[in-house]
């Protein structure tokens, strides 16, 4: 888990650093001060992983379709032909609708 956090922090720092470098190039072209962007990049490269650790994990998205665990509830199993029901008045199986 700590290695995952370190890799995540490194990835965030690289992306934020790349963004700061690109913004610095634009600031040079416009003859604006550049230190603010690098200071913000340093703060964000530390703050974003900390906020990511503090937030609770998101729940995985629920599927709109049935899963294998739903098969038992519908009366079907994974065996072929198990979704057939029998008509009580006859011995012939009828396909489930």
* Tens-place pLDDT, residues 60-93: 877 777 655 544 555 555 666 555 555 556 555 5
- 94 in a structural domain: no
Is residue 17 one of the residues assigned to a domain? yes
Reply yes or no on whether the pLDDT at 16 is more than 90.
Answer: yes
Residue 86 lies in a domain: no
pLDDT score for 27: 93
Work out how many domains the chain is built from and give that number. Answer: 1
Instruction: Let me know if residue 23 belongs to a domain.
Output: yes
Q: Quick one: pLDDT at residue 18?
A: 96
Residue 55: C-alpha distances to residues 7, 40, 44, 50, 52 (Å): 18, 22, 16, 9, 6
Instruction: With respect to residue 88, please indicate whether it lies within any of the assigned structural domains.
Output: no
How high is the pLDDT of residue 81? 58
pLDDT of residue 77: 56
Largest CA distance in the chain: 90
In-domain check, residue 93: no
In a domain, 84, yes or no: no
Full-model pTM:
0.55
19-63 per-position pLDDT tens digit = 999 999 999 999 988 899 999 999 999 999 999 888 888 888 777
Give kind and range of the element (H or E) at residue 30. Answer: helix 2-30
Asked if residue 89 is part of any domain, the answer here is no
Range of the domain at 36: 2-54
């Amino acid at each position: 888990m700590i290695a995952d956090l370190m890799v995540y922090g490194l990835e965030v720092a690289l992306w934020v650093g790349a963004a700061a470098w690109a913004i610095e190039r634009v600031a040079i072209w416009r003859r604006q001060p550049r230190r603010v962007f690098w200071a913000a990049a340093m703060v964000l490269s530390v703050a974003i992983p900390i906020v990511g650790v503090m937030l609770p994990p998101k729940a995985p998205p629920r599927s709109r379709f049935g899963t294998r665990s739903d098969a038992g509830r519908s009366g079907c199993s994974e065996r072929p032909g198990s979704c057939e029901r029998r008509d009580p008045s006859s011995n012939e199986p009828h396909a489930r609708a």
